[in-house]
Amino acid sequence: MAPTLEAKKAVLFHLLNLNLLLDLGVDPPSSPTTILPPTAAPQSECHLVYGQTRCFSLQAPWVGPSRPVVRRPQSPEEIGTTFSLFTQQNYSVAVPLDPGRLSTILGAPFVPDQPFKIITHGYFSHGAVAWAETLKGELLRAQDQNVVVVDWSVGAMPPYTQAVANLRLVGEQLAYLIYSLSKFADVPIGAFHLIGHSLGAHLSGQAGTILQRTYGLKVPRITGLDPAEPYFNDTHPITRLETSDAEFVDVIHTDDSPILGFPLSIGMTQPIGHLDFFPNGGSQPGCDNGALNCHHTRAITYFTESIRQSCPFMAVACPSYQKFIDGECWGCKGDHPCSLMGLNASPITVPPRTSLYLETTAQSPHCGYHYRVSVTVSNSSEARSHLGEFAITHLRLEGHKDYSPVLKLSTQSHYYEAGTTQRRVILTRDIGKLQTLTLHFEDPTWLLPRFTKGIYIESVTVEPLGRDIRWKFCFDDSFQRLDRDYKLTLKNMC
């Protein structure tokens, strides 16, 4: 049997040695972790985790076509995991939590009756990485709550396969921490929200599984920020983040870009949560500067920006990104419900692993307001005899609150044929009530000019997402010449 594409990806990623900066983090270590010589595959590896023996299977499904190399988790002493508590009262000075020393749990300065947000970094990173500091700060500015930062930086170092093995042990440690807080410090299990990036997303999923199987506890929410793909795509659900790990699992997927031209990405492309958000379809604007980790870390940026909510990250359930931007999924009703992406995401009545799509901007703030624009071509005898034209539509929206920049309905020319409608979703500022619509139909074939070159547009309709409003404009003239500006105002409403 020929190997699957996922198996080829996993082998390729292993061969690349994985000494790639996948997360914003530390410089490469001067001497990489020692790679042990291959031996006969053992059944399992056991370690003492806070005085309790925990064994980790080294057989399927922990090894298989999509993860051809299996390693033993390092010991807790080698990994040196730490948990640091922050509140508004100790914003910059961490209070260590050590589940092996009950006094650190009982004596910790928790903010009572407030949420516990647990942040976990990924591969080749550390607990004091800049994005974790920023996320912690935004959470504490928003609310006086408890923020715990997990640092498993030694265990997250290369080789990647060792980090994949180590996250299983750290998941046991995190699960025991949450159990200890619940049992000994009376923190309700409903207070916990785990937030993990890259390998940290799968680590959070492991903690969720262990909490249920070992301690009979289920956390209400896990958020995966671009979970890592290599060794996790197309694998058994127990090996990765998935829907059963928490009451609500929301995932932001931001990286489907190939690595160095190879057919694999750092971020996961499979939907694995209750809600799976794919901003811009998985490839992020503004990430064309060659930075390897730009797409991968953009999920963190979106989640962090969502805390202040200067504008909404509203996403729409849709079968594909192309259908979304073509305006085929709209209205936040029926088969296309909407949900906010980020901190304010919440369950909606859809099947698990539902994909939701939205647009973002290239620069911060990345959020905005979606509008569907429909350009309808007349089906008159004149329009039909004209046989249509190719054009690129530029438009500008002006409302009573704000105005948009000049936007393109498509990057390539569109054929405007009689009786057809072109729809496109655009993202811009909140313009309020639309008052003026300016259009320009660009001639993409200007090398072959014709004096009668133009199109027969019957109407242009603009609809804001999430609001039961439609603004429809009609032209005074039935024929619009290319490369001219047309300004439609309230008197052109029809």
54: helix, strand or coil? strand
CA distances from 285 to 14, 255, 305, 310 (A): 29, 11, 16, 19
**Alpha-carbon torsion 267, 269, 272, 277, what sign?**
positive
169: helix, strand or coil? helix
208: helix, strand or coil? helix
Catalytic residue flag (residue 198): yes
Catalytic residue among 66, 198, 374, 404: 198
Give dist(CA 91, CA 111) in Å, integer.
12
Which residues fall within 8 angstroms of residue 85, CB to CB, at 6 or more apart? Answer: 94, 95, 96, 97, 108, 109, 110, 146, 147, 148
Catalytic residue among 23, 226, 245, 256: 226
**Alpha-carbon torsion 298, 429, 249, 111, what sign?**
positive
Nearest to 129 by CA among 225, 248, 207: 225
The residue whose two tokens read 């001497």 is 31
Catalytic residue flag (residue 14): no
Give dist(CA 346, CA 351) in Å, integer.
14
- 407 CB-contact burial (10 Å; exposed 0-12 / middle 13-18 / buried 19+): middle
164 DSSP 8-state letter: H
Catalytic residue among 296, 386, 414, 440: 296
Which residues fall within 8 angstroms of residue 323, CB to CB, at 6 or more apart? Answer: 329
Nearest to 67 by CA among 136, 134, 4: 4
Which residues fall within 8 angstroms of residue 395, CB to CB, at 6 or more apart? Answer: 373, 406, 407, 409, 437, 438, 439, 440, 460
180: helix, strand or coil? helix
257 DSSP 8-state letter: P
Alpha helices in 366-408 (DSSP H): 381-386
Cβ contact 339:275 at 8 Å = yes
Write the single-letter amino acid at 420. Answer: T
Strand (E) or helix (H) holding 237: none
Q: Which residues are catalytic?
A: 198, 226, 296
